[in-house]
Amino acid sequence: MVKHSQIFIDSLIHPKKLAAYRLLTIGKTIQYVFLLIAVVTIYSFVQFLTGVSETSYNIQGLTEYVKDIQWLLYPFAFVLLTLTSTILIYIRISIYAFVGLVLLKMMNRRGEYRHMWRTAALAITWPTLLTVLFSILKMASIVSSILGILITIIILILASTKYPKLPKK
């Protein structure tokens, strides 16, 4: 059984091994995706916590209101951040899987959408970590997005080279 730590390391260092992980169970892949979602959600929640404390001092009435509903605001914000992160990451993976499927067809490789979905789920590790890093460094989000797209597609191309070739007709 493959551990999440091994999948993480391979998705960062060995993009060609991601093609072998296409045979993982979908449950293991989804667990890994939820670990990435947890990283993004926790980081976003910390940003939210620090942002509320910074902006609430600017307006006196808002400060009192936030203090009154703080017990309700933070759990709701955490759930909302988790939900939006989950939806966005799953949409990204699905789009990348479709792009990967097109790459497989162009490269004359054999694979199905479900296989490429697993590969794309692991290929978004770098872009996810870079998004958090760029956010910490206060870099433009457009640069982060473009770089993330390029990195993911490059990783998908490298992984696709290890998919089996289509038989000659």
Res 101: pLDDT = 96
Q: Does residue 33 fall inside a structural domain?
A: yes
Q: Does residue 152 fall inside a structural domain?
A: yes
User: Which candidate, 116, 112, 104, 108, places its Cα nearest to that of 166?
Assistant: 108
User: Which candidate, 93, 84, 91, places its Cα nearest to that of 48?
Assistant: 84
Res 109: pLDDT = 94
Q: Which two tokens stand for residue 145?
A: 């997005």
Domain residue limits at 91: 4-160
User: Which candidate, 18, 15, 93, places its Cα nearest to that of 2?
Assistant: 18
Q: Does residue 12 fall inside a structural domain?
A: yes
Cα distance between residue 38 and residue 22, in whole Å: 22
Cα distance between residue 135 and residue 156, in whole Å: 24
Q: Does residue 166 fall inside a structural domain?
A: no
Cα distance between residue 51 and residue 93, in whole Å: 29
Cα distance between residue 41 and residue 79, in whole Å: 9
Res 60: pLDDT = 60
In tens digits, the chain (169 residues) has pLDDT values of 889 999 999 999 998 888 899 989 999 999 999 999 999 999 988 888 887 545 445 556 656 766 677 777 788 889 999 999 999 999 999 999 999 999 999 999 999 999 999 999 999 999 999 988 988 888 878 888 999 999 999 999 999 999 999 988 7
Instruction: Name the DSSP class of 168.
Output: P
Number of domains comprising the chain: 1
In degrees and rounded to multiples of 5, residue 126 shows phi and psi of -60, -50
Q: Does residue 93 fall inside a structural domain?
A: yes
Q: Does residue 167 fall inside a structural domain?
A: no
Give the three-state DSSP class for 140.
coil
Res 56: pLDDT = 44
Give the three-state DSSP class for 34.
helix
Res 74: pLDDT = 80
Q: Does residue 169 fall inside a structural domain?
A: no
